[in-house]
Amino acid sequence: MSNENDTQPFCHRKPDIEYPCEWEYRVIGTDQQALIAAIEQACASKNPDINLSNVSSKGKYVSMNVTVTVENEAIRNDIFNQLQQNEAVKMVI
């Protein structure tokens, strides 16, 4: 019997992720210090690696790369949702 994922187009499949793993988020906003605070809050005890990724040409937006070890999908999604709901964050990728 074939696996249901084998018959779905690749773009519709849920990725196979082995946990725990390092996961990277790109977080975009207008205030670098507020972004760092939002990241530290969302990643609480995960000891995130936070690095400046880019500043827009006019300096209005800043993006940060965040690498953190996640133990499962629920934690990965929870961090994403916490970042997305923070008012300092314009976008999470």
Count of domains forming the chain: 1
Q: What is the pLDDT of residue 93?
A: 96
Q: What is the pLDDT of residue 14?
A: 78
User: Could you tell me which residues come within 8 angstroms of residue 86 by beta carbon, excluding any fewer than 6 positions away?
Assistant: 38, 41, 42
Domain that holds residue 49: 18-92
Do strands 49-55 and 89-92 pair parallel, antiparallel, or not at all (unpaired)? unpaired
3-state class of 93 per DSSP?
Answer: coil
Global pTM value: 0.84
pLDDT at 1 over 50: no
More confident residue, 16 or 79: 79
Any idea what the CATH number is for the domain that residue 58 is in? Answer: 3.30.70.260
Span 31-77, pLDDT tens digits: 999 999 999 999 988 999 999 999 999 999 999 999 999 999 999 99
